[in-house]
Amino acid sequence: MTNSNTGYHEADKYLVDSVLKGNNAAFAAIIKNTEALVTQIVFKMISNPGSRKDLAQDIYIKAYKKLAGFKFQCKLSTWIAQIAYNTCFDYLRKKQLILTDILHEEKEMKTTSPDETFSVLQQKELSAILKKEIDLLPPIYQTLITLYHNEEMSYIEITEITGLPEGTVKSYLFRARKMLKNNLSHHYQKEDI
Kindly write down the DSSP assignment for every residue of 106-152, as one continuous string: HHT------HHHHHHS-HHHHHHHHHHHHTTS-HHHHHHHIIIIIS-
Q: Is the pLDDT of residue 106 over 80?
A: no
According to the model, what pLDDT value does residue 139 have? 85
Class of domain 97-193: mainly alpha
In this predicted model, what pLDDT tens digit does every residue of 124-179 receive, in sequence order?
A: 555 666 777 888 888 888 888 888 887 888 899 899 888 889 999 999 999 988 88
CA 108 centroid distance within chain: 24
**Percent of the chain as helix, strand, coil, to the nearest 5:** 80, 0, 20
**pLDDT tens digits, residue range 75-88?**
899 999 999 998 98
pLDDT of residue 180: 83
Query: In the chain, which segments carry CATH 1.10.10.10?
Result: 97-193
Out of 3.90.230.10, 1.10.1740.10, 1.10.10.60, 3.40.1050.10, the CATH code matching 1-95 is: 1.10.1740.10
> What is the pTM assigned to this prediction?
0.62
Task: Please list the residue range(s) of the chain that carry CATH number 1.10.1740.10.
Answer: 1-95
Q: Which residue has the higher pLDDT, 52 or 184?
A: 52
pLDDT at 120 over 80: no
Cα separation, 152 vs 148, in Å, equals 5
CA distances from 71 to 9, 42, 126 (A): 10, 24, 42
Centroid of chain to Cα 139: 9
pLDDT tens for 5-39 read 455 678 888 999 999 999 989 999 999 999 999 99
**pLDDT-based confidence at residue 123 (cuts at 50, 70, 90):** low
The end-to-end CA distance of the chain, in Å, is 49
